[in-house]
A and B are shown apart, each in its own frame.
Chain A
Amino acid sequence: MSSTTVTGDGSPTRRVEADLWSGHSRSLAFWEAAVTIGLILCAAITVLTTIGIVAVLSVQSFEFFTHAKVSLPAFLFGTELKPDAHPPKFGIVPLVWGTFLVAAGSSAIALPIGLLSAIYLSEYAHRGVRAVLKPTLELLAGIPTIVYGYLALLLVTPTLKRLLEPMGLRVETFNALSACIVVGVMIIPLVSSLSEDVLSAVPRGLREAAFGLGATRFEVSTRVVLPAGLSGVIASFILAVSRAIGETMAVVLAAGMRPQITWNPLTSIETMTTYIVQVIGGDASYGEPKYLSLFAVGLTLFAVTLTLNILSGLVLRRFREVYQ
């Protein structure tokens, strides 16, 4: 900067300096404000999306309950779903049951396998092995769900037939068990990568202290590291269940579309997501009860997954061990 003494009456020196350093020029201030507003709008869109989802689902569900003359208890506790019958019956219980069956079955597969592989990756694997295995699991997470659905038809169901039919069990082409298997495999990467993040974050000092007391690697993993990272592991479990509940294409192709309440996993069932696809793929026209029912089912699905996601966040925060 110039060393000329600046007097108070707007000397030329001052003007030149202001031109060189355009820190307070008007166009710059304008751009600054415009960019800020633009960025705020971008952030607002994320909030508007949530508001939009809630508004669309509740407004159309309200329309369903008033137009179709279905009472809320009849919808929530009705055990029959016959949208094409006269009069139509819209009980959501068969769909909730089917969803529960798929979520429970796939969790039974994914949670143990996911947790064990998280422990392996964080406690046992050498650096080189980890560098190969972790990206592979991530690639697995990138396979679209329609592929898993096709795989159920191509590979899983024929294999189940081969294994179970000699034992006298009837396996339907669309069955809940094969949906459980493919959805379970699908959510393994979710469990393993989230749990592994938490387990790796457990401080080294804890492990070293346990090793110093003579604990084996097994004991360190299961009695020191796992309890320390438990909140994260449980949070990942809840997220995985939520993902299984919201899964659509794999279930459509694997489990079919027959709403029924059954314990037999070898028959076809229908989940909430499948019902939505069925209605939209069918011939229901805009505004009729069957069409509107998809919004009521969608609202239920959204409420359940949102509750689980919030629960997962709470568990992660509430029960986190804090290390300093």
Chain B
Amino acid sequence: MKPNEAARFHPDRWIRRLCGPLFAATCLLATCTGVVVLLVVLGSIVTAALQGPPENPWTAIVPNWSELLALVRKLAAATQSSEPESTGYRVGLAGSLWLLGLVAVIGIPVGVGAGVYLEEYAPPGRLRRLIQTNIANLAGVPSIVYGILGLALFVRAFGIKALALGPTLLAGALTLSLLILPIIVITTQEALRAVPQSLRQAALALGATRWQVVRDHVLPSALPGILTGTILGLSRAIGETAPLLMVGAAGAILRPPAGPLDRYSALPVEIYNYAREPDRHYQIVAAGGILILVALLLTMNAAAIVIRNRFRRYHHG
């Protein structure tokens, strides 16, 4: 160190003492924006659902819970109509639940299967690295691109009439399944990696085959982690709007779908259609729909976080 540099160092310079707390406060403030935003989101939507977009959006009024529940119940039960007072989300809600079920049946087995293959079966090497990189990149593909894929592949089948599904529930569910595949594969792999190696070795030493090891020992032990990933993936699928717009979830459907090959509408798509309307009465309807959607998603995500935290504690003693 040069002498003049040493002379510049004063351990008690005021700026050093000032910087620390100031920086800590700034960081705390930044962290709190997240919490504040969450509260503002919920508060303003509850308010808007009850009274329409307020003149001054910042004066949140304490919501009246019974009124709110009545409103949500009314919206969930009523089918779409041209009158904002009597319209509701019954068709969209039914469509979203159908999608949830179909994605759970189609997307989750494939995702978990791919995760198990990569973690337990695939020999380490170039091919495995390639698949791994590919999945990491798929996770970053914008959801609307999946919508384009679903449109060309499932809805139109490249113009081959016999294979084209048209704008049906199944086409939507297949698209959403591809969309959540990377999430499920990645979380499955993480869960499998957390299973101690000794468990596999013990089972193998007793003569179990590879599949027996996976089915009877590894998978049960990794189940909470896989469950977390599954719930997160499903909640992502439920909240997506853009890909469903691409594969033809229409706004103007007047009855709930009867089967996987029926036309459908979904909750977020209906919300989008109401939110676009300039009429203030429709804004109230949109807020009510968002309330249903957010309540559904926050419950699912909170469940996933709770399961994961329990699981962590269990594994780390």
Contacts and interface: CB of A to CB of B under 8 A. Distances in A.
A35 B211 CA distance: 7
Nearest to A280: B246
Q: Is the interface of A mostly helix, strand, loop or mixed?
A: helix
Contacts of B226: none
A19 B298 CA distance: 53
A60 B148 CA distance: 11
A65 interface: no
Interface stretch (B77-85, B127-135, B256-264): B127-135
B31 A218 contact: no
Contacts of B185: 46
Given A185-B37, A298-B145, A23 B209 contact: yes
Nearest to A132: B35
A322 B49 CA distance: 52
Contacts of B210: 32, 36
A309 interface: yes
Interface stretch (B67-75, B86-94, B190-198, B285-293): B285-293
A309 B245 contact: no
Instruction: With a 10 A CB-CB cut-off, give which of A136, A144, A252 has the most chain B CB atoms.
Output: A144
A217 B144 contact: no
B229 interface: no
Instruction: With a 10 A CB-CB cut-off, give which of A21, A56, A247, A308 has the most chain B CB atoms.
Output: A56
A140 B37 contact: yes
Contacts of B294: 143-144, 147
18 contacts: A39-B117, A113-B33, A120-B30, A135-B302, A144-B239, A146-B241, A151-B41, A188-B34, A192-B31, A218-B23, A221-B23, A245-B142, A246-B141, A248-B144, A248-B241, A277-B144, A277-B242, A309-B136
A45 B181 contact: yes
B84 to A, nearest CB: 16
Contacts of B122: 43
A309 B140 contact: yes
Contacts, number: 273
Contacts of A144: 238-241, 268, 293-294, 297
A218 B19 contact: yes
B160 interface: no
Contact of B245 (A42, A133, A277): A277
A301 interface: yes
Interface stretch (A47-55, A84-92, A261-269): A47-55
A301 B38 contact: no
Interface in A127-167: 133, 135-140, 142-147, 149-151, 153-155, 158-159, 162
B57 interface: yes
Contacts of B207: 21, 23
Nearest to B242: A248
Contacts of A247: 142
B141 A155 contact: no
A6 to B, nearest CB: 18
Interface in A173-201: 185, 188-189, 192
A64 interface: no
B30 A298 contact: no
Nearest to B268: A146
A56 B114 contact: no
